[in-house]
């Protein structure tokens, strides 16, 4: 087995569904439930079912999937923190795992003491930490936290501390779990840069995140886990595209029937009533039904990813009782080719007349967007047509 290689085959992992803790009060609680005639539903819940993952040295893999799909469990198995119920896991070379970097940090110790503690947890010798101490402090921007007990620092500081040390370990395989969630934008970009630098040195990276943009900017390949099963495994753009679509479809299914005003019908048309085209006019027609005359502040949004709109349009108008047609014309559609979702809501400070939810989806024809160079967090896709001039001065 080569350094940096991961071979996991036929992995099964289960947890007790009802964690039978052995504390006396839990036991008493169970007895009580028994006495009331309610049975205890124990048994097991499978966290991973027959998962295969083969990664070559220097590859970068993103593990994606909704909460509870087994991503973190998989990472823990690779890190040897946990053992599988069935199957084989083999990882070649030194493994560096960043699974909740706050775990190793003790609140009562100072930043400096924690740097040494976390360093030796990750297997970096004290001498090595001492040698690179200034670098670590500079990378994590930890100057203010060094002499202070960590409990008096912000939670962002904890993550920076953890990542700063971890960034200086030189593993063959780096496992990273959602560590970038905390930390400000600049630090996130710094962490991504660092991970890409590590990748460039030939380290294998397995990255778990809900931040699909971060996954896309780091990983070449993505594995999508769904309820403990590999749903899809392939090039990152393809897998993320599939994943985004199901998340959005799920959002649509979850559309609430609440709200005072009802959206009866949605129509989205391009020029001449056809499919919308990039950089051409777009017309949106919504048929609304209100039980009473209402002054409504309406919002229309277009999204590619769930809930976060690419652009938002607002309009206030009086809705009479009964059905009303709302027409909105966009003279110049700034979207590239792709599939988009139309969101609508009438939101007031005290109540939502219509909760913010997707009311339709549409295809846009047109040119493809300029590909994002890897390493830049991808922005929401907006089609802009500039004119370029390159002139020597």
Partner 1 sequence: MTQASTRATEPPPDTLFRLKVRLVPAVREVWQRRELVRTLAERDLRVRYKQAFLGIAWSILTPLALMVVFTVFFQRVAKVDTGGAPYALFTYLGLLPWTFFSTSVSQGGQSLVTNNQLVNKVYCPREVFPLASMAVAAVDTLLATLVLGLLFAITGFAPKPTTVWVPVLLVVQVAFTFGVTLVMSAVLVFLRDLRHVLPIILQLGLFATPVAYGMDVVSPQLQVLYSALNPLAAVIDGYRRTVLLGLPPDWQLLGPGAVTSALLLAFGYVVFKRLEPGFADYA
How many whole angstroms separate alpha carbon 183 and alpha carbon 266?
40
Among 120, 275, 279, 299, binds partner 1 (CB under 8 A): 120
Q: Measured between alpha carbons, how far is residue 313 from residues 328, 331, 347 in Å?
A: 9, 13, 13
- In the complex with partner 1, the residue whose CB is nearer, 16 or 351, is 16
Question: What token pair was written down for 73?
Answer: 């469990």
Task: Report d(CA 189, CA 371) in Å as an integer.
Answer: 19
The mark string for 85-104 relative to partner 1 (x by CB under 8 A, - otherwise) is xxxx------x-x-xx--xx
Among 38, 108, 257, 387, which residue sits at the site for partner 1 (rule: CB under 8 A)? 108
Give the Cα separation of 337 and 362 in Å (integer).
11
Task: Check residue 356 for interaction with partner 1 (CB under 8 A).
Answer: no
User: Cβ closer to partner 1: 46 or 356?
Assistant: 46
Q: Which of residues 230-249 bind partner 1 (CB under 8 A)?
A: 230-232
- Among 107, 108, 164, smallest CA distance to 141 is for 164
Shortest Cβ 92–partner 1 spacing (Å)? 15
Residue from 3, 57, 121, 221 in contact with partner 1 (CB under 8 A): 121
Residue 116 in contact with partner 1, rule: CB under 8 A: yes
**What are the phi and psi torsion angles at 20 (to 5°)?**
-80, 85
Please tell me whether residue 151 binds partner 1 under the rule CB under 8 A.
Answer: no
Q: Is 146 in the site for partner 1 (CB under 8 A)?
A: no
Alpha-helical segments (H) within the chain: 24-35, 71-78, 111-121, 126-131, 133-140, 155-167, 185-200, 212-218, 236-253
Q: Please count the other Cβ atoms lying within 10 Å of the Cβ belonging to residue 105.
A: 24
Residue 108: how many other CB atoms lie within 10 Å: 9
Q: Which residue in the set 84, 183, 276, 301 belongs to the binding site for partner 1 (CB under 8 A)?
A: 84
**3 touches partner 1 (CB under 8 A):** no
CB proximity list for 117: less than 8 A, separation 6 or greater: 104, 105, 106, 109
Each residue 20-59 as x (binds partner 1 by CB under 8 A) or -, in order, gives -xxxx------------------------xx---------
Which C-beta is closer to partner 1: that of 207 or that of 344? 207
User: Under a CB-based contact definition with an 8 Å cutoff, are residues 190 and 130 in contact?
Assistant: no
- For residues 4 and 170, is the Cβ–Cβ distance under 8 A? no
Give the nearer residue to partner 1 in terms of CB position, either 16 or 33. Answer: 16
Residue 12 near partner 1 by CB under 8 A: yes
Beta bridge partners of 268: 284
Binding part of the chain for partner 1, among 35-43, 185-193, 229-237, 251-259 by CB under 8 A, reads 229-237
Beta bridge partners of 322: 290
Stretch that binds partner 1, among 57-65, 111-119, 183-191, 203-211 (CB under 8 A): 111-119
Site residues for partner 1 per CB under 8 A: 10, 12, 15-16, 19, 21-24, 49-50, 76, 79-88, 95, 97, 99-100, 103-104, 106, 108-109, 113, 116-117, 120-123, 125-126, 149, 226-227, 229-232
């Amino acid at each position: 087995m080569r350094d940096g290689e991961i071979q996991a085959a036929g992995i099964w992992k289960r947890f007790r569904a009802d964690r039978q803790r052995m504390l006396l009060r839990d036991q008493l609680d169970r007895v009580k439930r028994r006495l009331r005639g309610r049975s205890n539903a124990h048994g097991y819940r499978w966290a991973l079912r027959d998962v295969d993952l083969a990664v070559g040295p220097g590859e970068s893999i993103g593990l994606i999937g909704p909460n509870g799909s087994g991503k973190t469990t998989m990472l823990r198995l690779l890190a040897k923190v946990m053992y599988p119920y069935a199957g084989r896991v083999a990882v070649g070379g030194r493994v560096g795992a960043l699974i909740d970097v706050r775990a190793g940090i003790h609140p009562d110790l100072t930043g400096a003491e924690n740097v040494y503690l976390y360093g030796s947890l990750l297997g970096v010798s004290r001498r090595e930490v001492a040698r690179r101490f200034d670098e670590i402090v500079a990378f994590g921007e930890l100057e203010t936290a060094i002499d202070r007990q960590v409990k008096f620092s912000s939670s962002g500081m904890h993550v920076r501390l953890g990542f700063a040390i971890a960034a200086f370990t030189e593993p063959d395989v780096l496992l990273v779990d959602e560590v970038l969630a905390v930390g400000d934008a600049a630090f996130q970009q710094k962490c991504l840069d660092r991970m890409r630098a590590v990748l460039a040195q030939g380290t294998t990276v397995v990255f778990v995140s809900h931040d699909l943009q971060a996954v896309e900017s780091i990983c070449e390949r993505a594995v999508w886990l769904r309820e403990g099963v590999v749903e899809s495994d392939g090039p990152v753009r393809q897998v993320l595209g599939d994943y985004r679509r199901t998340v959005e479809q799920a959002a649509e299914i979850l559309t609430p029937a609440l709200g005072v005003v009802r959206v009866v019908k949605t129509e989205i048309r391009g020029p001449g009533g056809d499919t919308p085209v990039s950089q051409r006019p777009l017309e949106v027609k919504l048929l609304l039904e209100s039980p009473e005359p209402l002054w409504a502040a309406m919002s229309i949004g277009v999204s590619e990813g769930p809930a976060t709109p690419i652009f938002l349009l607002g309009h206030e108008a009086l809705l009479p009782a009964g059905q009303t047609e709302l027409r909105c014309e966009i003279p110049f559609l700034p979207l590239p080719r792709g599939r988009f979702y139309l969101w609508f809501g009438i939101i007031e400070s005290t109540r939502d007349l219509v909760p913010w939810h997707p009311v339709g989806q549409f295809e846009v024809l047109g040119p493809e967007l300029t590909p994002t160079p890897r390493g830049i967090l991808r922005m929401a896709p907006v089609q802009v047509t500039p004119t370029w001039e390159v002139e020597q001065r």
